[in-house]
Amino acid sequence: MVKICCLGAGYVGGPTMAVIALKCPSIEVVVVDISVSRISAWNSDQLPIYEPGLDDVVKQCRGRNLFFSTDIEKHVSEADIIFVSVNTPTKTRGLGAGKAADLTYWESAARMIANVAKSDKIVVEKSTVPVKTAEAIEKILTHNSKGINFQILSNPEFLAEGTAIQDLFKPDRVLIGGRETPEGRKAVQALKDVYANWVPEDRILTTNLWSAELSKLAANAFLAQRISSVNAISALCEATGANVSEVAYSVGKDTRIGPKFLNSSVGFGGSCFQKDILNLVYICECNGLPEVANYWKQVIKINDYQKSRFVNRVVSSMFNTVAGKKIAVLGFAFKKDTGDTRETPAIDVCKGLLGDKAKISIYDPQVTEDQIQRDLAMNKFDWDHPVHLQPMSPTAVKQVSVTWDAYEATKGAHGICILTEWDEFKSLDYKEIYESMQKPAFIFDGRNVVDPEKLREIGFIVYSIGKPLDPWLKDMPAVA
Which residues are annotated as part of the binding site for NAD(+)? 8-13, 33, 38, 86-90, 127-128, 161, 272-275, 342
Structural contact between residues 269 and 332, judged by C-beta atoms closer than 8 angstroms: no
Give the C-alpha separation, 247 to 238, whole Å.
12
Helices marked H in 241-267: 244-252
How many CA atoms are closer than 13 Å to the CA of 463, on its beta-carbon side?
32
Give the C-alpha separation, 71 to 297, whole Å.
41
Give the C-alpha separation, 135 to 407, whole Å.
54
Structural contact between residues 3 and 80, judged by C-beta atoms closer than 8 angstroms: yes
Give the C-alpha separation, 228 to 299, whole Å.
6
Count CB-CB contacts under 10 A for residue 239. 10
Specify whether 272 is catalytic. Answer: yes
Identify the bridge partners of residue 5 per DSSP, sorted by sequence position. 30, 82
Give the C-alpha separation, 205 to 129, whole Å.
19
Give 55-108 as a DSSP string.
Answer: HHHHHHHBTTTEEEES-HHHHHHH-SEEEE----PBP-SSTTTTTSB--HHHHH
CA-closest candidate to residue 311, choices 345, 287, 340:
345
Report the DSSP pairing between strands 359-363 and 326-330.
Answer: parallel
Taking CA 147 as the corner, what is the angle to CA 143 and CA 153, rounded to the nearest 5 degrees?
A: 65
Which residues are annotated as part of the binding site? 8-13, 33, 38, 86-90, 127-128, 161, 272-275, 342
The amino acid sitting at 368 is T
Catalytic residue among 5, 6, 272, 417: 272
Query: Residues with catalytic annotation?
Result: 272
